[in-house]
Structure 1
Amino acid sequence: MDDTRRRTRPIRQLHHDMNDRPFIVIWEVTRACALACRHCRADAIRARNPRELDTEAGKRLLDNIASFGTPRPLVVFTGGDPFERPDLADLTAYGTSLGLSVSLSPSVTPRLTADALTQLREAGAKAVSISLDGAHAATHDNFRGVPGVFDDTLLALDAVRDAGMRLQVNTTVTAGNVLELPLILSRMLDAKVSLWSVFFLVPVGRGQELQALSATDEEDVLHWLHEVSTLVPVKATEAAHYRRLALQRARSEDLDGDFPPGPLRRQLCAATERLLTGKEVAHRPARAPMDVGSARGFAFIDHVGDVYPSGFLPWVAGSVRERPFTEIYRDSEVFTTLRDPDALGGRCGQCEFRTVCGGSRSQAYARTGDVLSEDPTCAWVPATT
Structure 2
Amino acid sequence: MKPRTVVRTPRHAVAERPFIVIWEATRACPLACLHCRAEAQTARHPEELDGADARRVMDGIAAFGRPGPLFVITGGDPFQRADLTELIAYGTSLGLRVAVSPSGTPTLTRANLVAVRDAGAVALSLSLDGSTAARHDAFRGVPGVYDWTLDGWRAARELGLKVQINTTVTRNGLEDLADVAALVRREGAMLWSGFVLVPTGRGERLDSLTPAEVEDVLHFLYDCGSVMATKTTEGHHFRRVALQRTVLDARGERPRLGPLYGRLSARAAELGLFDGEHRAVRRPPMDVSSGRGFVFISHTGEVHPSGFLPVSAGHVKARPLTAIYRESELFTRLRDPSLLRGKCGACEFKTVCGGSRSRAYGFTGDVLEADPYCAYEPGSFPYPQEIGSLAESMRH
CA deviations on 1:143-163 (whole Å, 9 max, x unpaired) are: 110012112221121111122
Give the AA of the match of 1:173: V
C-alpha deviation, 1:283, in angstroms? 3.0
Deviation at 1:167, TM superposition (A): 0.7
Are the aligned partners of 1:249 and 1:255 in contact in 2 as well (CA < 8 Å)?
no
Show the counterpart of 2:203: 207
What residue is the counterpart of 2:392 in the other structure? Answer: none
Give the equivalent residue in structure 1 for 2:383. Answer: none
> Is the aligned partner of 1:172 residue 2:192?
no
Structure 1 position 286, deviation (Å): 1.1
Q: Distance in 1 between matches of 2:83 and 2:18?
A: 25
**Structure-2 residue corresponding to 1:145:** 141
Matched, 1:75 2:57: no
Aligned residue for 2:172, secondary structure, equals: coil
Q: 1:122 to 1:44 in 2, by over 3 A?
A: same
How far apart, in 2, do the equivalents of 1:39 and 1:281 lie? 35
Give distance in 2, aligned partners of 1:70 and 1:271: 45
Looking at structure 1, the residues matched to 249 and 274 of structure 2 have their Cα atoms a distance apart, in angstroms, of 30
Residue 261 (structure 1) shift = 2.7
- Corresponding position: 1:184 with 2:180: yes
In the alignment, the residues of structure 1 paired with residue 104 and residue 311 of structure 2 have an alpha-carbon distance, to the nearest angstrom, of 29
Gaps of 5+ in 1: none
Task: Determine if the alignment matches structure 1 residue 24 to structure 2 residue 31.
Answer: no
Which residue does 1:306 correspond to in 2?
302
Match of 2:193 in 1: 197
Deviations 1:28-83 (A, max 9, x none): 01110011111001101111112111111111110111011122100000000000
Partner of 1:336 in structure 2? 332
Deviation at 1:280, TM superposition (A): 4.2
Give the Cα–Cα distance (whole angstroms) in 1 for the partners of residues 66 and 255 of structure 2: 41
Q: Distance in 1 between matches of 2:244 and 2:309?
A: 28
Q: 1:349 aligns with which of 345, 348, 352?
A: 345
SS at match of 1:133: coil
SS in 1 for 2:165: strand
| Closer/same/farther in 2, CA of residues 100 and 11 from structure 1, 3 Å limit | same
Q: Which residue of 2 aligns with 1:372?
A: 368
Distance 2:305 2:273 in 1: 42
**Cα RMSD for the two superposed structures:** 1.7
Deviates more, 1:169-178 or 1:253-262: 253-262
Residue 370 of structure 1 deviates from its aligned partner by 1.4
Q: In 2, Cα distance between the equivalents of 1:19 and 1:38?
A: 35
What does residue 122 of structure 1 align with?
A: 118
Conserved 8 A contact 2:171-2:209: yes
Tell me whether 1:135 sits opposite 2:131 in the alignment: yes
> Which amino acid letter does the alignment assign opposite residue 233 of structure 1?
A
Q: Is the 8 A contact 2:227 2:274 kept in 1?
A: no
SS of corresponding position for 2:294: strand
Question: Which position in structure 2 is the counterpart of 1:259?
Answer: 255
Within a 5 Å distance, the mapping from 1:30-109 to structure 2 comes to 30-109=26-105
Q: Which residue of 2 aligns with 1:241?
A: 237
Conservation of the 8 A alpha-carbon contact between 1:22 and 1:299: yes
Check 1:177–1:21 CA distance in 2 against 1; reply closer, same or farther (3 A cut).
Answer: same
* Structure 2: stretches of 5+ with no match in the other structure: 381-396
Q: How many angstroms apart in 2 are the aligned matches of 1:146 and 1:222?
A: 29
- Counterparts of 1:324 and 1:257, CA distance in 2: 50
Aligned pair partner of 2:321 in 302, 318, 325: 325
Residue 383 (structure 1) shift: 2.3
Cα distance in structure 2, aligned partners of 1:32 and 1:275: 38
Preserved contact between residue 6 and residue 285 of structure 1 (Cα < 8 Å): no
TM-score, L = length of structure 1: 0.95
8 Å contact kept, 2:165–2:191: yes
Contact 1:219 1:379 in 2 (8 A): yes
For the residues of structure 1 that align with 2:251 and 2:224, how far apart are their CA atoms?
Answer: 15
Please name the residue that 1:283 is paired with.
279
Amino-acid identity (%): 52
| Structure-2 separation of matches of 1:346 and 1:230 | 33
Structure 1 residue 7: deviation in Å?
A: 8.5
Amino acid in the other structure paired with 1:158: R
